[in-house]
Amino acid sequence: MTVTPELLAAYADGQLEGADKARIEAAIAADPALASQVARHQRLRKALAAHYAPVAEEPVPDRLAALLKPSGGAESNAEVISFAGARAKRGLLPAIRRWAPVAGPALAASLVLAIWQPWQGGLPEGYADPDLAGVLDTRLAATQAADADLRILLSFQRQGGDLCRAWRGAEAGGIACRDGAGWRIERQFALEGATGGDYRQAGSEADIMAAAQDMAVSGALDAEGEERAKAKGWQN
C-alpha cells in the first residue's frame, strides 16, 4: 500500500485507530524510511511543545487577569480603555507594523497638536502650528522616544515630489506635507480615543495609514531616507 504523508502524520499524531493504524504500523515495520519520518515528526512535535511551554508556565500578566476579576464591569471597562492606549503606544500586530517599517515610538507627551489658526497670525490657514511644525521638522520616526502619546507614523513622498509625514496622538492624527510656506495639513483624523476602547482605534490609525498609502508615490521612507530629507529641510 502507499502511505501518504498525511496518513503518516496522522499516525505520528496518534490519530489513527483500528485497521488504519495496523496497516500503517505494518508498512512502517517494513520500511525504515517511513519509521524515520515518523521519528522526525515526533521530534518536531517535542521541540515545538518545549519551545512554547514556558509561555503557559509563567504567571498570567495582571492586565489580562484583571479583565476576568469578579469585581466586574467598571473595572474591566477601564482595562479596555487602557488597552487602546497601550496599543497606541506599542503599535499593532506585526503584520500591520510591517507596513510602516519606520513607524516608531511617540513624541513628547505634552505636545498638543493644533492647526495654526488665521487669527494667530504668521502662517496661512491650514498649516501646522509652530509646535507641530517643530516636531515635523525634527523628529525622526526611528529615534523618537518610546513612551509618549504622540508619534510620527511614517514619512513619504507624494505625487509632485513634496515630502509628507503622518502622525498620530491619543485622539487625533493627520498627514502634513512640506511646501515653501511650511507644513500644510492635508488630512486630519479624529481617532476614537477615550471612549472607544476596543481595537477600533487601531482601525483609525489604519485609516491614516491608508490615506498615506493613497497619497504616496512609492513606499515609506526608511530611517536613512528620513535623515536625508530632514537634512534638506524636507524640501526638494
Q: Please, which residue, 66 or 115, has the CB nearer to other proteins?
A: 66
Question: Least distance to other proteins from the beta carbon of 163, Å?
Answer: 16
C-alpha cell of residue 229: 530629507
Q: Where do the DSSP E strands lie in the chain?
A: 106-107, 150-157, 163-168, 172-178, 183-190
Minimum distance, C-beta of residue 98 to other proteins, in the bound complex (Å): 3
Q: Residue 54 Cβ, how far from other proteins at the closest point, in Å?
A: 9
Choice between 74 and 180, CB closer to other proteins: 74
Contacts with other proteins by CB under 8 A lie at: 5-6, 9-10, 13, 15, 40-41, 44-45, 47-49, 51-53, 55-58, 60-61, 63-65, 67-70, 76, 79-80, 83, 86-87, 90-101, 103-105, 142-144, 146, 198-199, 203, 206, 209-210, 213, 216, 219-220
Least Cα distance to 41 among 15, 63, 64 occurs for: 15
Nearer to other proteins, 82 or 188 (CB): 82
Q: What length does the chain have?
A: 236
Tell me the sheet residues that pair with 175: 166, 187
Answer whether 216's CB lies under 8 Å from 153's CB: no
Closest CB to other proteins among residues 17, 110: 17
d(CA 57, CA 229) in angstroms, rounded, equals 48
